[in-house]
Chains A and B, each alone.
Chain A
Amino acid sequence: MSIYDGIEILKAGDHTVTLARDGRAVTLQYRAIKFWDRWRKAKDDAARLKLCQEQLLSESDLDDVFDLLAFLNKWSPEEMSELVPVWNERAGGYLA
């Protein structure tokens, strides 16, 4: 059983989405979910940079992406501590 199976969709608006699992809920912009989906599927570094330029519009968008990843338990705190500076470096220059 994957971690996604237990996720309940409480709200699925065109702009805002609320997901719940094990008594925890998270509300985020739908575009944060789309951003993460495209980031995962991007084929190389150039594609990810282009994605940052085109899709990541504000720091709150990036916050939503982090909230999503924390909700999905995708990263342990150790992995996050290694990746956060990379994300900052990667995305920081493109934040509005």
Chain B
Amino acid sequence: MRQGRKRMVERLHRLGLRAPGGRPRKLGTDGRRTLVAKAVAKIEGDLAALPAVDKPWEEMSPAEKLRNLTVLGLDKTREILLRDIDYSDPVLALKHERLVTDTSLGLLSRQIRVDEAQYREPPTDRGWDDLLARLAANQKKSRATAIIDAEAVPVEK
């Protein structure tokens, strides 16, 4: 175990938390269904929130093109997730199941990243800025003191 991770695991254990890591658990059929339902709900929410761009492709700005492709991408992802799995061919069914699970997990991990923004403190925290200003003033003072100390070295006669 790398030193940094070891320290992090110890810190989490001190806080009474479990340390994330290890092999991801295998999903059963029910787990996959729940995952797919969550992912589809997420896509439908995202699609409803995206403003429509009604312009020819050539006239779109890069941001509008990206928005347009995002809509297409979400539509395609939804189609993959909702497609019925054909169990007559076990190999193909397994591949399809893997694709559906990976697609759902990818979508949900993106959602976690978006949600994470909600936990961040707003940048209008004056106390923090005051602390930084105090720190900068103290650093300046320390530098000045160091220079005075260096100049005060007695000269040998």
Which residues of A does B touch, CB under 8 Å? Answer: 2-5, 7, 9, 11-14, 17, 30, 33, 37, 40-41, 45, 58-60, 62-63, 66, 70, 74-75, 77, 79-86, 88-90, 95
Contacts and interface: CB of A to CB of B under 8 A. Distances in A.
B4 A2 contact: no
Interface stretch (B11-19, B75-83, B100-108): B11-19
Contacts of A9: 134-135, 138
B22 interface: no
A13 B4 CA distance: 24
A89 B131 CA distance: 29
Interface of B: 2-5, 7-8, 11-12, 15-18, 20, 109, 112-114, 116-117, 119-121, 123, 125-128, 130-132, 134-135, 138-139, 141-143
A66 B15 CA distance: 13
A84 B113 contact: no
A4 to B, nearest CB: 3
A67 B20 CA distance: 18
A62 to B, nearest CB: 7
B135 A59 contact: no
A77 B5 contact: no
B154 to A, nearest CB: 25
A55 B15 CA distance: 27
Nearest to B2: A59
Given A12-B135, A17-B135, A80 B4 contact: no
Contact of B142 (A13, A63, A84): A13
A83 B135 contact: no
Residue of B12, B132, B135 with highest tally of chain A CB at under 10 A: B135
B132 A41 contact: no
Nearest to A8: B134
A45 B16 contact: no
B74 to A, nearest CB: 18
Contacts of B18: 81
B131 A59 contact: no
Given A77-B16, A88-B20, A40 B116 contact: no
A95 B41 CA distance: 34
B127 to A, nearest CB: 3
27 contacts: A2-B125, A5-B127, A9-B134, A9-B135, A11-B142, A12-B135, A12-B138, A12-B141, A12-B142, A14-B139, A33-B132, A40-B120, A40-B123, A41-B123, A45-B113, A45-B117, A58-B4, A59-B3, A59-B5, A59-B7, A60-B3, A77-B16, A77-B17, A82-B119, A86-B112, A86-B113, A88-B20
